[in-house]
Amino acid sequence: MSKTDLVAPLSVATDDLTLTVAGVTMPVRSTGDRLFVEVPTLRSAVRVARAVNTVPSGPTRLLTVTDLTTELRVRGRTVAVFGAHARPGPLARELGIAPAEFRLGGALAAASSGATAAVDHFLTWLR
């Protein structure tokens, strides 16, 4: 029996789940083998990613061993991926979030969406 035969993949079902990491509270939804964690801002996403990866053999290892993947999402855009399907690159290492994968396109889209929302809010306030 191989080492992978000893651990069955884990499936997570969510109806009303909230996760708090590094003081950031986030709603969670699931497709069974992939968790989607909605983070309020990009700054919060980086703070959460760093906190998760500072625990030796912590959450990222658990996700990998159980064949789960977690996506941190900001404004509906995936900015970081942890676990079984994460593919960290040089930027993730530079940000200090490896072994998580950082998605620059998602971060740029989330930042643009956030900036647009802030401008819209400001213009509404002026009226």
Cα end-to-end distance, the chain, whole Å: 69
- Tell me if the pTM is above 0.85: no
The model's pLDDT over 69-127, given as tens digits with 9 standing for 90+, comes to: 999 999 999 998 988 899 999 988 888 888 889 999 999 999 998 888 888 888 888 88
pLDDT number for residue 1: 44
Interior/surface letters 104-124, b for 16+ CB within 10 angstroms, e for the rest? eebbebbbeebeeeeeeeeee
Query: In angstroms, rounded to a whole number, what is the distance separating the alpha carbons of residues 122 and 58?
Result: 41
Under a CB-based contact definition with an 8 Å cutoff, are residues 100 and 86 in contact? yes
* CA gap 105, 10 in Å, rounded: 29
What tens digit of pLDDT does each residue of 32-60 get? 788 899 999 988 988 888 888 776 667 77
